[in-house]
Amino acid sequence: MVRTAGREEMPGGRCRERPGHPNRVTPPGPGRTETSARRSSAGPRSLQPSGPGGAGERRKDEAALGDELGRRLESSAQEIARLRASRCHPGGGGPHRDTLRAPGKAPRWDPQPLAYQELQSERTEVPASRLLEETGLGRPGSEDLGTATGCGELVWVGEPVVFGRADSIAGKYGVWMKDPEPVPPFTRDTTWRVDTVGTEVRQLFQYEAAEQLAQGYPTKVHILPQPLESTGAVVYRGGLFFQPRRSRAVARYDLRGETVTAEREIPGAGYHGQYPYSWGGYTDIDLAVDETGLWVIYSTEKARGAIVLSKLDPETLEIRRTWETKIRKRGVANSFVICGTLYTVSSYSAPNATINFAYDTATSTSRALSIPFENRFRYLSMVDYNPTERQLFAWDSFNMVTYPIRLSQA
């Protein structure tokens, strides 16, 4: 017996039609061509009698064809299921191409167990090196941030740039800083940070590069021999200057030797809540650094709560000179010194605050200002000026931020 497409040639030259399946198209299975698939999808055709003895053979053929059809249908169903389960991108592609995701579905985020870290960058998509380039961190003397050399008056404060965020309640308030005149092995890139929430604040975090601060991995943690008070600390010429807890003193902690090398009381200075800034936080004694050296900002009973500004010797902490202002300390949120002039911030929580007063130590006069200052996160607990980078460092409700500034030409 010889089979051709749709017909069978029987012994003796007789032919008969092969049966098809009514109203069904059989998809091509593995190893079948499109032509053979079209041939197997022919419409219903009746079987023709083949004479004596043909009925038995026809039944055998029908049984064989039925088995073959069942196998083909099963194979086709498996092939269709496989194709549906592994759709490829339009245009084809091999088995190594990515499968197409269903519309509107995002890949599932599978959080991994995280080790403790102090900080995490606010936007992980932005490398810290790029952030440094855009904000001017690490670019001291940039013309965009002020005059390259010499001093002048503050005329503009830009929008805050978030550089890092504390991830625990201890970091709601804090202080972060760089040394404008570092001593080896430290550099201008070495960054320091203290979380100040708590009664025994002794940890000083050291970061060798700004990228480490943004990522939250300190190089070293210094344990201070005595706890510090509030957010008034600064780093200058290789030392951390801070107010020891519940005292009117100022101390110098040597960062290389890791010991306190000097400590001196500020005569008559209020402390532990007597004359703080408006936000509180035991901010009675606040240290500052500018182009001319080290300063301490405080008040006394004699000054009746007005700000007193004294210049300090950075080695011995002796007071070189003192100025009394007419600016009430409780009436301002914070202050800093630029080129020998004290500037105050009007509010720690108002989103659109201002730099509202300036006191010039060269002339011993003060004047009102109205330079816009943004409190983006509504709880400003620290503002310091870095004379090398010519910008402000601030701590605003867990967030470590910087402000670009401009000074007038001297």
The single residue listed with the structure tokens 């084809």 is: 92
Closest to 83 (Cα-Cα) out of 27, 21, 24, 1 = 27
| CA angle (174, 312, 270) in 5-degree steps | 60
Q: Which helix (H) or strand (E) holds 131?
A: helix 128-135
Rg, the chain, Cα only: 40
What is the Cα–Cα distance from 138 to 353, expressed in whole angstroms? 27
Question: Where in 104-236 does DSSP place strands (E)?
Answer: 119-120, 154-157, 161-166, 174-178, 191-195, 203-207, 220-223, 234-236
Q: Which helix (H) or strand (E) holds 74?
A: helix 54-85
Chain-centroid distance of CA 282 in Å reads 30
Judged by DSSP in three states, 27 sits in coil
Could you list the pLDDT tens digit for every one of the 410 residues in the chain?
544 444 454 554 454 544 444 444 444 444 444 444 444 444 444 444 444 455 666 666 667 777 777 777 777 777 777 766 655 444 444 444 443 344 443 334 343 333 322 333 333 333 443 344 334 443 333 333 333 357 999 999 999 999 888 888 888 999 999 999 999 999 999 999 999 988 899 999 999 987 788 888 899 999 999 999 999 999 999 999 999 999 999 999 999 999 999 999 999 999 999 999 999 999 999 999 999 999 999 999 999 999 999 999 999 999 999 999 999 999 999 999 999 999 999 999 999 999 999 999 999 999 999 999 999 999 999 999 999 999 999 999 999 999 999 999 75
Structural contact between residues 195 and 166, judged by C-beta atoms closer than 8 angstroms: yes
Judged by DSSP in three states, 79 sits in helix
> What residue type is assigned to position 367 of the chain?
R
What distances in angstroms separate CA 205 from CA 63, 78, 119, 192, one per listed residue?
85, 62, 11, 6
What is the Cα–Cα distance from 54 to 385, expressed in whole angstroms? 107
Kindly state the DSSP code that residue 256 receives in the 8-state scheme: T
pLDDT of 29 reads 47
Domain range list for the chain: 127-407
Structural contact between residues 188 and 140, judged by C-beta atoms closer than 8 angstroms: yes
pLDDT of 297 reads 98
What is the Cα–Cα distance from 342 to 326, expressed in whole angstroms? 12
* Cβ neighbour number for residue 304 with a 10 Å cutoff: 10
**Domain 127-407 -> CATH class:** mainly beta
The single residue listed with the structure tokens 């006394």 is: 300
Is the backbone of residue 138 left (phi > 0), alpha (psi -120 to 50) or beta? left
pTM equals 0.65
Tokens encoding 357 = 């007063």
pLDDT of 214 reads 80
What is the Cα–Cα distance from 250 to 228, expressed in whole angstroms? 10
Tokens encoding 251 = 């101390």
What is the Cα–Cα distance from 176 to 124, expressed in whole angstroms? 20
pLDDT of 84 reads 66
| CA angle (274, 277, 279) in 5-degree steps | 110
Closest to 77 (Cα-Cα) out of 43, 39, 26 = 26
**Longest CA span, the chain:** 134
Tokens encoding 142 = 């940039």
For 186, residues 6+ apart whose C-beta sits below 8 A from its C-beta are 179, 238, 255, 256
For 306, residues 6+ apart whose C-beta sits below 8 A from its C-beta are 299, 324, 325, 326, 327, 328, 329
- Contacts by 204-208 with C-beta closer than 8 Å and gap 24+? 204/240, 204/253, 205/118, 206/255
pLDDT of 19 reads 47
Tokens encoding 326 = 């007419």
Chain-centroid distance of CA 274 in Å reads 37
What is the Cα–Cα distance from 254 to 261, expressed in whole angstroms? 6
